[in-house]
Amino acid sequence: MSWPGGQPASAGRVEPAWNDVRHWMRPGTLQLQSLPPLALYIHLPWCLKKCPYCDFNSHEWTATAAPGEALPEAAYLEALRADLAASLPLIWGRTVHSVFIGGGTPSLFSPAAIDQLLGDVRAMLRLEADAEVTLEANPGTFEKDRFHAFREAGVTRLSIGVQSFNDTHLKALGRVHDRDQAEAAVEEAARAFDTFNLDLMYALPGQTLADCEADVRTALSFAPPHISIYHLTLEPNTWFAKYPPTLPPEDEAWDMLDRITELTAGAGLQRYEVSAYARNGHRCWHNLNYWQFGDYLGIGAGAHSKLSFAHRVVRAVRVREPRLYMERAVAGNAAVSADEVPRKELPFEFMLNALRLRDGFTLQQFMERSGLPLSSIEPALTRAAQQGLVERDAARVWPTARGFDFLSDLQGLFLPD
């Protein structure tokens, strides 16, 4: 169901509201024996400057604000409160295991605003006592002690968008920070937090294998408990899609990935997901929950949710444009769509996530979280095993090294006919 204008489409027929829990709880063909763990995602949509490769829902504040006008922190927090309040019927009685404050650039918000936000969340939801609470932070958006203040506000894990430590490549990526600021941010994170993540990208315009290796070595010199390393992709509707930079050839990008995997392994970080490397005990709970097809409520501009009910899995999306989002959220009307995932698409949706994990998934997990019988994936699993893309035992299925390298082919085996 979509409500592009903010109202349910009615051609003589009244559509149920996106948060009408009785509608989602009515009988259906799926049988979910229990509901999966639940996480909360909060989107803060503003950045200092839009990066040319970025297709996230992020907006330059100065593009629409009056000169000198500050971020509308209070109004946005009010919208988030209203959005969360309107969403509560969909998650009544459930405990939230993690919170991820992502963006955009959440570190543009003041520690006082983050403190208020987490206070609101705790007042409205049952948050597990030792819940992981991650905040995304960009170098160049903090002054000394800011990270410490985020920690005081209840953030337990910082994720820093470093991307590269090389000034030439940072410039090519249109980043606002330089190497010194990246290093200062990582040092500060290591001081203020027991666990943190660095985001890097590779296969950058003009990057050589030696440059990539230098970036990874610099990152590892800070002994990070977690690193995420993404292959730079040219996303539709970005500046780079329109004016593509020259990127390293594909075989060089593969060499870079091999080097990244070797260097991180040598530093005691395990590649537990296609792009994620962690020391023991430092895997990201929140992201693991996505990959294990857990539930998440997403609030904030453009945020996505995936919520399970006894007989269906529902995906919802919030209004993307921040000002419109604020208007509609306070009216209890932030969702632009809420749709049941069609039964035949569930195997592919599940595999899109679960096969990104080195440990794969248990057959029990598949049945519990999709509500489908194993027979719905048996033929595709057999084909995947015959092609050497997965291995399995009586309880578990996991991708082989070849499966990891040809992940889209592997996932494609589970597409509906």
Ligand X SMILES: C[S@@+](CC[C@H](N)C(=O)[O-])C[C@H]1O[C@@H](n2cnc3c(N)ncnc32)[C@H](O)[C@@H]1O
> Applying CB under 6 A, which residues contact ligand X?
53-54, 56, 102-103, 105, 136, 138, 161, 163, 199, 201, 230, 232-233, 235
Query: Using CB distances below 5 to 8 A depending on partner kind, what does residue 38 bind out of ligand SF4, ligand X, none?
Result: none
Q: Which is nearer to ligand SF4, 1 or 54 (CB)?
A: 54
The answer to the question of residue 56 lying near ligand SF4 (CB under 6 A) is yes
Task: Choose the binding region for ligand SF4 from 4-12, 98-106, 227-235, 317-325 (rule: CB under 6 A).
Answer: 98-106
Distance CA 410, CA 387 (A): 9
**For residues 1 and 259, is the Cβ–Cβ distance under 8 A?**
no
Q: Is residue 50 part of the contact set for ligand SF4 (CB under 6 A)?
A: yes
Asked if residue 138 binds ligand SF4 (CB under 6 A), the reply is yes
Q: Does residue 234 belong to the site contacting ligand SF4 (CB under 6 A)?
A: no
Residue 238 in contact with ligand SF4, rule: CB under 6 A: no
Distance in Å, CB of 302 to ligand X, minimum: 11
Q: CB under 5 to 8 A by kind: which of ligand SF4, ligand X, none does 102 bind?
A: ligand X
Give the residue, chosen from 111, 161, 224, 248, that forms a contact with ligand SF4 under the rule CB under 6 A: 161
CA–CA separation, 210 and 306 (whole Å): 41
Buried b / exposed e across 253-286, counting CB within 10 Å, b at 16+? beebbebbbebbeebebebbbbbbbbbeebbbbb
Residue 103 and residue 353 in contact, taking contact as beta carbons nearer than 8 Å:
no
Q: How far apart are CA 208 and CA 225, in angstroms?
A: 26
What is the spatial distance between Cα 413 and Cα 387, in angstroms, rounded to a whole number? 11
Residue 347 binds which entry of ligand X, ligand SF4, none, with Cβ cut-offs from 5 to 8 Å by kind?
none
Please give the Cα distance from 284 to 289 (Å, whole number).
9
Least distance (Å) from ligand X to the CB of residue 94? 25
Please say which residue, 47 or 86, places its beta carbon nearer to ligand SF4. Answer: 47
Say if residues 63 and 47 touch (Cβ distance below 8 Å). no
Q: How far is CA 339 from the centre of its chain?
A: 20
Smallest gap from Cβ 231 to ligand SF4, in A, equals 15
Kindly state the number of chain residues that form the binding site for ligand SF4, as judged by CB under 6 A: 11
Residue at 73: amino acid letter: E
> Which amino acid is present at 153?
A
| 140 binding ligand SF4? (CB under 6 A) | no
DSSP alpha helices (H): ranges in 206-330? 209-220, 239-242, 250-266, 285-291, 322-330
In the list ligand SF4, ligand X, none, the entry touching 50 (Cβ below 5 to 8 angstroms by class) is ligand SF4
Our CB check for ligand X shows the closer of 269 and 346 to be 269
Rounded to a whole number of angstroms, the minimum distance from the CB of residue 69 to ligand SF4 is: 19
Q: By the 8 A CB rule, do 158 and 197 touch?
A: yes
Q: Which is nearer to ligand X, 162 or 334 (CB)?
A: 162
Residues that bind ligand SF4 (CB under 6 A): 47, 50-51, 54, 56, 58, 103-105, 138, 161
